[in-house]
Amino acid sequence: RKFLRCINHKKIQATNRNCEVTADVRHDGSEPLVDVMFADGERLIMKGANLTTIEMLTALRSRCNAKELQEEQKSKRKSP
């Protein structure tokens, strides 16, 4: 829930208008799970029972930074 609060913060949402956050809260005793679907179809699944909020945010930031780097490299290859 703390992770969801952080991601839904106005300042964070303002950094990427294309980001859509959907919460599916279940009370069936199942393990907390964060499933991130990126625009390119790749998924990042984090099991909340084993991670702190900071670890989850760090993992998400790391994946996003890697994706940005890949996009920059692709655009550099295409331009002469």
Task: Enumerate the domain spans of the chain.
Answer: 1-77
Determine the pLDDT at residue 79.
66
Say if CB 23 and CB 31 are below 8 A apart: no
pLDDT, greater one: 2 or 80? 2
Superfamily of domain 1-77: Glutaredoxin (3.40.30.10)
For residue range 3-62, list pLDDT tens digits in order.
888 888 888 888 877 778 888 888 888 888 888 888 888 999 998 888 999 999 999 999
Residue that has been written with the tokens 């625009």 in this structure: 39
Q: Contact 2/53 with Cβ under 8 angstroms?
A: yes
Mean pLDDT calculated for residue range 62-69:
91
pLDDT attached to residue 25: 80
- pLDDT band at 80, cuts 50/70/90? low
CA distance 35 to 22: 10
**DSSP symbol at 6:** H
